[in-house]
Amino acid sequence: MSALFQINDLAVSFPGRDQTVYAVNGLSLAVEAGEWLGVVGESGSGKSVSLLASLQLLSATSRIDRGQVWFDGRDLLRLKRRPLREILGRQIGVIFQNLANGLDPSMRVGQQVMEPMLAHAICTKPEARRRALDLLTELGLSDPERQFERYPFELSGGMRQRAMMAVALAAEPALLIADEPTTALDTTVQLQVLSVLQEACRRRQMTVIMVTHDLGVATNVCDRVVVMYGGQVMENAEIDTFIQASVHPYTQGLKGSMIPLNGTHAPIQAIEGSAEIFHQVPRGCPFVARCPVAFERCHTERPRLLSLADGHEAACHRVEEATARVG
């Protein structure tokens, strides 16, 4: 099966005067057409940086050390600005994590939603207006016609997030890259918005890569989940496997730190330690300092992504030894 979008061995760093931050260290992932891929992992694990870098949207302080990003038979990292712009907004829609960055504060909301359709000459202005209104209505925004005339700062956080989503969806892209697209939404609106995305996936084979912290969201909508840590893939599993048979110690920790909803005041199980910033490319497993089951090999040797079953991979020495013993 050939992938629609594929990141190969991507490495991104932020060179500083004193020290360099190695944010992404050899990340590879692929999505097939019509698939919904979830990317989870804690703050600083390189989710945003890797996706932004793959679209050449990172700021000038970053450096792409190596890697390729294949989309539609082309390596996006080698594309010049102009052909890339043709692709962005039209074939690839992007929803940014940072609410402040996604919308132009000096431009009316409606104009921004119509922009991708007009810029890529997809339809006429009245048609674009109609489509934009439909989209905003579908996303559950009240008074869509009147919202058209407002500036972003007049919208509430969740309204802004939905406006941004409308911009990303306007040109009916083949691939949607969504970085935490529902963090500012209440549970009911979140459901509605996710159902719109799901509809688009079903109806016209839209592919989604969605970054999220919320395992509830990931497990309810994604076909497959990639777990990241230290700018690398730790585990990659079909959703059923992810829910029932995930093996990586970091994935286990992540699942354990969910806050239960019971109104009681039980202490929360967070993963020990806090997210690290890597000033050197990690030599062994990036998770080693916080892993409860680490042993010597984890410090010195980088675990390779081992295929455990069809559609299930994990990068962990413990797992590798356990499978070696069984098999």
Partner 1 sequence: MIRSRASLWLQGWRRFADNKVAVIGLAWLVLFSIVALWGRQLAPYPMHYANLFAGNEGPSLSHPFGTDSLGQDMLTMVMYGLRYTLAVGFGATVVALVVGVLVGLTSGLAARWVDEILMRLTDFMYAFPGFLFAAFIIGVFHGAIGVVIGVFGLTQWAGFARLTRGLVLTVRHSELVESGHAIGASSTFIALRYILPQVINSIIVYTAFVAVNIITLQAELSLFYGTGPALPLISFGQLISQGTQDVLGYWWLLVMPVGTLISLLVALVVVGEGLQAALNPKGNRIL
Partner 2 sequence: MSDNALLAIDQVTKTFPWGKHRIEAVRRVSLSIGTAETLGLVGESGSGKSTLGRLAIGLLAPDRGTVTVSGVNLGAVAPRTLRTMRQTLQIVFQDPGAALNARVSVAANILEPLVVHNIGTRDERLRRVGRLLERVGLTTAHGPAMPDELSGGQLQRVMIARALALGPKLLVCDEILSALDLSVQAQVLSLLDDLRTTEDLAYLFISHNLSAVAYLSDRIGVMYLGELVEWAPTAALVAAPKHPYTQALFQSILEVPTSKAARKSLTGIPGEVPSAIDRPLGCAFHTRCPLAMDICRQEAPPWLTVGDQHQAACHALAAVEEG
> Where does this chain bind ligand ATP (CB under 6 A)?
14, 21, 23, 41, 43-49, 59, 61, 97, 154-159, 184, 277
Q: Of 91 and 97, which has the nearer Cβ to ligand ATP?
A: 97
Site string for partner 1, 38-67 (x = CB under 8 A): --------------x----xxxxx------
Q: Which is nearer to Mg ion, 13 or 241 (CB)?
A: 13
Q: Which of ligand ATP, partner 2, partner 1, none lies near 57, with the C-beta cut-off 5 to 8 A by kind?
A: partner 1
Distance CA 305, CA 180 (A): 26
Per CB under 8 A, the segment of 84-92, 228-236, 290-298, 302-310 that binds partner 1 is: 84-92
Residue 211's nearest CA partner among 97, 62, 101, 56 is 97
111 touches, from ligand ATP, partner 2, partner 1, none (C-beta below 5 to 8 Å by class): none
Instruction: For the CB of residue 322, give the shortest distance to ligand ATP in the complex, in Å.
Output: 28
* Distance in Å, CB of 190 to ligand ATP, minimum: 11
The vertex-99 CA angle with 105 and 213, nearest 5°, equals 175
Beta bridge partners of 211: 39, 179
Q: Which does 172 bind (CB under 5 to 8 A by kind): partner 2, ligand ATP, partner 1, none?
A: none
Longest dimension (CA), the chain: 66
Q: 206 near 175, Cβ under 8 Å?
A: yes
| Residues belonging to the chain | 327
Question: Footprint of partner 2 on this chain (CB under 8 A)?
Answer: 41-44, 97-100, 137, 140-143, 146, 149-150, 154-159, 162, 180, 183-195, 198, 213-217, 219-221, 239-240, 243-244, 253-255, 257-263, 265, 267-271, 274-275, 277
- Tokens read off for 153: 């700062």
Of 119 and 281, CB closest to ligand ATP: 281
Residue 137 identity: T
Query: In the set 85, 204, 279, 283, which binds partner 1 (CB under 8 A)?
Result: 85
Q: Least distance in Å: CB of 238 to partner 1? A: 33
For residues 305 and 239, what is the distance between their CA atoms, to the nearest angstrom? 18
Q: Which residues, 6 or more positions from 254, have their beta carbon under 8 angstroms from its beta carbon?
A: 40, 41, 42, 215, 227, 271
Least distance in angstroms from the C-beta of 116 to ligand ATP = 23
Provide the β-strand partners of residue 229: 232
Which of these, 52, 75, 19, lies nearest to 211 by C-alpha position?
A: 52
CA atoms of 145 and 84, how far apart (whole Å): 32
**Least distance (Å) between residue 2 CB and ligand ATP:** 27
Beta-strand relationship, 207-211 and 312-314: unpaired
Q: Residue 324 carries which DSSP code?
A: H
Write down the least CB distance from residue 292 to partner 2, Å. 14
Question: How deeply is 149 buried, as exposed, middle or buried, from its count of CB atoms within 10 A (0-12, 13-18, 19+)?
Answer: exposed
Which one of Mg ion, partner 2, partner 1, none interacts with residue 67, CB within 5 to 8 A by kind? none
CB of 268 to ligand ATP, least distance (A): 18
Q: Which residue is associated with the tokens 């286990």? A: 252
Size of the site for Mg ion (CB under 5 A): 4
Q: Which chain residues interact with partner 1 by CB under 8 A? A: 17, 52, 57-61, 85, 88-89, 100-101, 104-106, 151, 153
Q: Which chain residues interact with Mg ion by CB under 5 A? A: 48, 97, 156-157
